[in-house]
Structure formats: structure tokens, C-alpha cells
Amino acid sequence: MRRAKNRNSVAVVNWRDPWHPAAGGAERYAWELARRFAADGRRVDYVTGRARGQRRRETVDGVRIVRLGGRFTIYPLVLAWMLARHRSWDAVLDCQNGIPFFTPWVLPRGVPVFCVVHHVHDEQFGMHFPAWLARVGRFLEGPVARRAYRRHACVAVSPSTVAAMRERLGWTGPVYLVPNGVVPPASPPATGDGAGLVCVSRLVPHKRLGRLLDLAERLQTPVHIVGRGPDEDRLRADVAARGLGDLVTLHGYLPEAEKNALVGRSRLHLSTSRGEGWGLSVTEAAALGVPTVAYDVDGLRDAVRDGVTGWLVPAGEDVEDTVERALKELADPRRRRETAAACRDWAGRFDWARSAARMAALVDAAVRRGTAHSARPEAAVVRDADGERVVEGPVRDEVLERCEAEPVRTATELERLLGRAGGWPR
């Protein structure tokens, strides 16, 4: 067992950083955790890819950023760089963006690794790559990753992701839930005053943003699209070809204050994605009091509380029908106020500081134990005069007699790793 430390050194390995032109919610998640770890006194290396014009090394908010390689070369370069420094970290957050970095292959066995999974990409590989390469991607995401991380653990951002990992990837090891947070707006603008619709998204194929053009054309209502990505030129060409320039506006990247002002003035936020890990833009819109219409798919069904903070498009129904129904409901000022209040309340339950504290608890427990995997499955929660606590097994009668305690239940994976009943610290 490794010696416990008050503060440990952590590597956060992610495909991009928040300043990369193709950055999205996964980058926001990794960075929010990294900078809070550094503020808490940990030494943090953020190992990532490098876009054209970015510096190879710099330190931001106490986090040392190391940029290596491009879209594909990042994987071997990161592994080589970490192999040369394999005893530099007490724990690693290995963030999977389609496929993980397989850092256990180059680290000492006693260094715990958490594979952070936002969503399962199996179906998406075919949208971005030729068939043979898509098969390679699915093989790496599934069987290869299961074997590489079999002595470690995973972190997922939503219940949908946990279910997809179990059902579609066959993952059997521990998966801990650490959700996204939300940065509340400093001064929220008046919400819902306009009749327009807004979508904040990366412009990539699996977001299916072409459906927004169909919606604008059918409902003859303004649609604002905020974001950038490889599909931008195609979308602009489609808008022009269909004569929708008066209805559809592609804003590209907007600074945070301008984006919030635009979202806050909108009646509805939209997501046409075929699946997410969570849908950070959904809770960011909710923090501004703006509900979302989204498809009933992985991640989005977790981020949207159907009928309360938005509407989910049922299977077999067009998004236009759901949007039309939502707009009719929101035409009632009382219903609009109630929905805005519910949205803000829901968004207020997600906090980056709380998420970072959860991840820190996992890291600290794993460093103490020398593994990110939970303790023996026979562990149980027992109750005595001092309250409930975890007793590691095998939990036989003589163990319980020595504890002078009553068995309550089998300990969860989280309780076994953290060594406390109830799981997360309050």
C-alpha cells in the first residue's frame, strides 16, 4: 500500500484544452477539475493535444499544460512522454474522447488511474471515419479498454453513460458518477423575452444541426446557432441554398457574456444531438432560466427533466412537433415563469466545486490504497454505537463479532473505495 499524502500529484490527460478551437464540454470538465486540484495544493500536469499556434508549454491557474501532437499523433506522443516520467504522479485522470489514452500501459502498477468517460462513442465512429477505421475505434473503446483498465476504475458523468458502459461496452469494473458543474451567470439577463430559438453546440455531424434548418423552415421562427466546428461551412451553404438567411443565424464563437445574453433572451434552447454524456449547454441554459427541447437519448434524458426544465422528443415524433407544443405552453406568462424558476433550481444543483471535491475524494482514497479499484466485494456496512462504518471482508460472523456491530447491508463500490459509509463526504 502506498503511503498516504496530504496532497498528491495528478496528471489530467485530455484530447484538447479549453483554448483549442475544437474544445467542448469534455474540455471544460477536465479543466475545471484540474484548476481546482491545483488551487487545493496538488501538483497538476494537464497533458493534451496542440492546435496550430498554441504554445507547447505554459502554466495557467497553477496547472502546468503540456501540449503534444495532433488528432492522432497525440496518443503515442503522450504515452512516450509519460513513460519517460512514469514515476512523476500519484494518480492519473485518463479522459476518454472516443478512445482512452491507455496510460496504465506506461505507469507503475501502483499508480491508480481513473478512466473518465463522457459518453460511449461506438455508433459515432462510423460518422467520422471509414468503415475499417470505425471498427478499429470500436475495438479500442470496448475490448482493449476493458482489459487495459481492468485493475483500475472509471468515472462517468451521467447515469446514461454508466448504463451504456455496462450494456454496450460490457464494462464490469467500478464506475463512479461525478457530474458536470455549472458556472452561474454573474448577472442573468431577462429570460424568455424573445420568441427566437437558440442552440449552443459544436458544429459536428453527430449533433445533427441540419434538423434546425428544417425546424426554422417549417415553423418560420428565428433560430440562432452558437458554436464552431468542421460542419460550419456546410451549414452556411445549406442556409444560403434554402433561402433561410432571414431565419437562421450562425454566430460562430461568442464570448461568454454575449452568448449568455443571446441564450437568456431566447424562448427555448435546442439540442438535436443523437447522444451526449450529459449536455453541458443544457444546464448552462437552465442556469439562465431557459428550458431545452432535446431528443430522448443518452445524456440529454439526464440533463433535461421532461416537462419541468424542458421537453424530450419522444421516439417517432419530429422535433418540430415538440418545439411547437413547448412554445404554446410558454406563451402563458405564468407557465414561463414557473419553468424558468425550475430551470434555475435544477442548474443550481450542479457545481464544479462539488464535482471537484468528489473527484478529489476518489483520488485521495486511491492514493492511500494504491489502487483505483474498490476493496474486496465482501465488505459490508455495519452499525454500532458510533454509527455506520465499512468493514472489509470476508465478512464472516467472527468479523462482525469483533466489530460488536450489526450488519446493515453490503457496501457499495464507492463505500469500499472511500472506506466510509454513505460514500461522498458532505
Number of structural domains the chain divides into:
3
pLDDT in tens, 122-153: 777 766 778 888 888 888 888 999 999 999 99
Residues 307 and 406 occupy one common structural domain: no
Residues 74 and 219 occupy one common structural domain: no
pLDDT at 2: 42
Residues 204 and 293 occupy one common structural domain: yes
Residues 173 and 201 occupy one common structural domain: no
- pLDDT > 60? residue 419: yes
Domain range for 206 is 197-347
Q: What's the chain's Rg over C-alpha atoms? A: 23
Looking at per-residue pLDDT, the higher value among 188 and 235 belongs to 235
Flag whether 188 is in a domain. Answer: no
Query: Rounded CA gap, 184 and 284, in Å?
Result: 8
Q: How many CB atoms neighbour CB 274 within 10 A?
A: 15
Residues 286 and 379 occupy one common structural domain: no
- Which CATH number is 223's domain given? 3.40.50.2000
Judge contact between 118 and 161, C-beta under 8 A: yes
Using H for helix, E for strand and C for coil, what is the string for the chain? CCCCCCCCEEEEECCCCCCCCCCCHHHHHHHHHHHHHHHCCCEEEEEECCCCCCCCEEEECCEEEEECCCCCCHHHHHHHHHHHCCCCCCEEEEEEECECCCHHHCCCCCCCEEEEECCCCCCCHHHHCCHHHHHHHHHHHHHHHHHHCCCCEEEECCHHHHHHHHHHCCCCCCEEECCCCCCCCCCCCCCCCCCCEEEECCCCHHHCCHHHHHHHHHHCCCEEEECCCCCHHHHHHHHHHCCCCCCEEEEECCCHHHHHHHHHHCCEEEECCCCCCCCHHHHHHHHCCCCEEEECCCCHHHHCCECCCEEEECCCCCHHHHHHHHHHHHCCHHHHHHHHHHHHHHHCCCCHHHHHHHHHHHHHHHHHHCCCCCCCCCCEEEEECCEEEEECCCCCHHHHHHHCCEEEEECCHHHHHHCCCCCCCC
List phi, psi (to 5°) of 116.
-90, 120
Flag whether 426 is in a domain. Answer: no
Q: What is the mean pLDDT of residues 31-57?
A: 96
Flag whether 399 is in a domain. Answer: yes
pLDDT in tens, 281-324: 999 999 999 999 999 999 999 999 999 999 999 888 899 999 99
Judge contact between 224 and 251, C-beta under 8 A: yes
Q: Which of 130, 147, 177 is the last residue of a domain?
A: 177
Q: Which of 114-118, 309-313, 415-419 has the lowest mean pLDDT?
A: 415-419
Residues 235 and 160 occupy one common structural domain: no
Residues 205 and 335 occupy one common structural domain: yes
Flag whether 250 is in a domain. Answer: yes
Query: Rounded CA gap, 411 and 372, in Å?
Result: 16
- pLDDT > 60? residue 398: no
Residues 31 and 136 occupy one common structural domain: yes
Q: What is the mean pLDDT of residues 36-42?
A: 96
Query: Rounded CA gap, 335 and 5, in Å?
Result: 52
Judge contact between 300 and 319, C-beta under 8 A: no
Query: Rounded CA gap, 323 and 325, in Å?
Result: 5
Flag whether 359 is in a domain. Answer: no
Q: What is the mean pLDDT of residues 248-256?
A: 93
Flag whether 301 is in a domain. Answer: yes
Residues 65 and 162 occupy one common structural domain: yes
Flag whether 300 is in a domain. Answer: yes
Question: Strand pairing partners for 271?
Answer: 294
Residues 225 and 145 occupy one common structural domain: no
pLDDT at 5: 44
pLDDT in tens, 331-366: 999 999 999 999 999 999 999 999 999 999 999 999
Q: Which of 113, 148, 177 is the last residue of a domain?
A: 177
Return mean pLDDT, the chain.
Answer: 89
Q: Which amino acid is residue 52, in one-letter code?
A: R
pLDDT at 95: 95
pTM reported for the whole predicted model: 0.88
pLDDT in tens, 261-282: 999 999 999 999 988 889 999 9
- The distance of Cα 31 from the centroid of its chain, to the nearest Å, equals 11
Residues 378 and 266 occupy one common structural domain: no
Q: What percent of the chain has pLDDT over 70?
A: 91
Looking at per-residue pLDDT, the higher value among 7 and 323 belongs to 323
- Those residues whose C-beta lies under 8 Å from the C-beta of residue 271, and which sit 6 or more positions away, are 199, 201, 207, 279, 281, 282, 292, 293, 294, 295, 300
- Those residues whose C-beta lies under 8 Å from the C-beta of residue 8, and which sit 6 or more positions away, are 42, 43, 89, 90, 91, 363, 364, 367
pLDDT in tens, 156-181: 999 999 999 999 999 988 999 999 99
